[in-house]
Amino acid sequence: MTAPPYPLLLKQLWHTPLAQAPDQEIVYRDVKRLTFRELRERVGRLASGLADLGIGVGDVVGVLDWDSHRFLEAYFAVPMMGAILHTVNVRLTPEQIAYTIDQGGASVLLVNDDFVPMLEQIRDRLPKVTRLVLMSDREPPRPGWLAFAGEYESLLLGAAPDYRFADLDENAPATLFFTTGTTGPPKGVSFSHRQLVLHSLAELAFFGMAARQGRFSRDDVYMPLTPMFHAHAWGMPWTATLAGAKQVYPGRYDPAFILKLIKTEGVTFTHGVPTLLQMLVDAAIAAKVDLAGLKMVVGGSELPHALVRRALALGADVFSGYGMSESAPMLTLAQVKSADLDGDPEFQADVRTRAGLAAPLVDIRVVDRDLTRCLLTGRRAGRSSRGRRG
């Protein structure tokens, strides 16, 4: 007898947390608290509301928001209903944002009212966008002169929670975002359900394989400090949901407020660029507090040794991660092996700034400047040529 096929769909990530941690918390700033059960209900309501706006299989929904519970709801609802989630990079110029939205083909945009002034500038360059939904933490919201089909919370309140998410082709597109890491206009990259589920499983395995340093588990408290509009926040919102871990979403990044959330909510795991780690270290020193218990994967650019030493002195567990937009993005982590944790601190700092070990399911070839394959000694400069998860 052959086992029946099991499609790798984002909706499958909900089975474990709803069974094992339905009352676990998801926190948005100091504004809102939801349980996993409540958030999953809101995912259903969002899908129903989008369907009422005419969204169906293959349609594109764009989101312009800071890191929030709303963004997490869209991470699931949009692809689970067979539509494609475009996480719009709001840090681009207005011209680039207009270009990416038009190229992505979104017909509906969910818009935080912080971005209404910018959207007013480019609305006439978005002919494919037929509906706007307003999101806000203000009372009343600020729609400007734009015509909105409704307000986000009202849309959810009036929609049914029991949307039936069909079994899709696991290779169907789920997400879309644009990267500016190359010359010319922003380049779009799309991911399937299968690729994103495999990425989540690989992250859980990779972080779980660490014995003492750089671990992530269901007991951690997760907060993204890589924007959810960029490279899926390294895929960690899906991974943390699958793990049933408490999640904290900080909204617009402010170092002092982030530090407050870390302390009040007990955040233990995050990720971001070196500049953000620098801001966090400076904020902790200014507030005369430590960062004990906080693990942070740092990527996007080279992690300086001096910054590692400052963070370690405050009690943080920091280490490099490497990836690319096209790889969903995680490829390697610079985790310190247990045998080296009690050794020379300078050697530890050096290990934490390297490219590190390849993630499960990742096949990496390291070559030098002449594209000659390098022996993986950890001493020779090179660049990677990587394969993707299927």
Q: In what order do the strands lie in the sheet with 60-64?
A: 150-151, 131-135, 108-112, 60-64, 84-87, 173-179, 187-192
The one-letter code for the residue type at 54 is G
Does the pLDDT value for residue 371 go beyond 90? no
Does the pLDDT value for residue 383 go beyond 70? no
* Strand-pair partners of 87: 63
CA 105 and chain centroid, separation: 22
Task: Please report where in the chains the tokens 């030098």 appear, as a residue.
Answer: 368
Radius of gyration of the chain (CA): 21
Q: How far is CA 388 from CA 168, 173, 366, 375, in A?
A: 22, 16, 15, 21
Task: Give me the sign of the Cα torsion angle 297, 301, 306, 310.
Answer: negative
d(CA 4, CA 20): 25
Task: Give me the sign of the Cα torsion angle 92, 98, 101, 107.
Answer: positive
Range(s) for CATH 3.40.50.12780 in the chain? 10-23+35-187, 195-360
Cβ atoms of 389 and 195 within 8 Å: the answer is yes
Other residues' Cβ atoms within 10 Å of the Cβ of residue 43: 25
Mean pLDDT within 181-194: 88
Q: What is the pLDDT of residue 386?
A: 46
Compute the half-sphere exposure of residue 268: CA atoms within 13 Å on the CB side of its CA: 14
Does the pLDDT value for residue 384 go beyond 50? no
Does the pLDDT value for residue 31 go beyond 50? yes
Q: What is the pLDDT of residue 249?
A: 98
What is the per-residue pLDDT across 149-171, written as a single tens digit (0 to 9) for each?
A: 999 999 999 999 999 999 999 99
Cβ atoms of 79 and 10 within 8 Å: the answer is yes
Mean pLDDT, the chain, rounded, equals 94
Q: What is the pLDDT of residue 387?
A: 47
The pLDDT confidence band at residue 364, using thresholds 50, 70 and 90, is confident
Degrees to nearest 5, angle at CA 269 with 299 and 214? 70
Mean pLDDT within 217-231: 97
Identify the weakest region by mean pLDDT among 23-37, 87-101, 289-303, 352-366. 352-366
Cβ atoms of 233 and 67 within 8 Å: the answer is yes
Cβ atoms of 36 and 244 within 8 Å: the answer is yes
Mean pLDDT within 311-315: 97
Find the helix or strand (DSSP H, E) in which 60 lies: strand 60-64
d(CA 276, CA 109): 28
Cβ atoms of 351 and 343 within 8 Å: the answer is no
The pLDDT confidence band at residue 382, using thresholds 50, 70 and 90, is very low
d(CA 195, CA 9): 9
Does the pLDDT value for residue 121 go beyond 70? yes
The total number of residues shown for the chain amounts to 390
Q: What is the pLDDT of residue 182?
A: 65
For residues 333 and 387, the model is more confident at 333
Other residues' Cβ atoms within 10 Å of the Cβ of residue 133: 21
Class of domain 195-360: alpha beta
The pLDDT confidence band at residue 385, using thresholds 50, 70 and 90, is very low
Mean pLDDT within 248-253: 98
Q: What is the pLDDT of residue 4?
A: 87
The one-letter code for the residue type at 344 is D
Write the DSSP string, 129-186: --EEEEE-SSSS---TT---SEEHHHHHHTS-S--------TTSEEEEEEE-SSSSS-
Cβ atoms of 330 and 301 within 8 Å: the answer is no
Q: Tell me which residue of 80, 104, 124 sits closest to 185, measured CA to CA.
A: 104
Mean pLDDT within 97-111: 98
CATH architecture of 10-23+35-187: 3-Layer(aba) Sandwich (3.40)
d(CA 167, CA 170): 8
Q: What is the pLDDT of residue 277?
A: 98
Q: What is the pLDDT of residue 197?
A: 98
Does the pLDDT value for residue 367 go beyond 70? yes
pTM for the model stands at 0.94
Q: What is the pLDDT of residue 374?
A: 83
Does the pLDDT value for residue 390 go beyond 90? no
Does the pLDDT value for residue 268 go beyond 90? yes
- The four Cα atoms 248, 277, 359, 175 give a dihedral, to 10 degrees, of 50
Share of the chain above pLDDT 70, in %: 96
The pLDDT confidence band at residue 381, using thresholds 50, 70 and 90, is very low
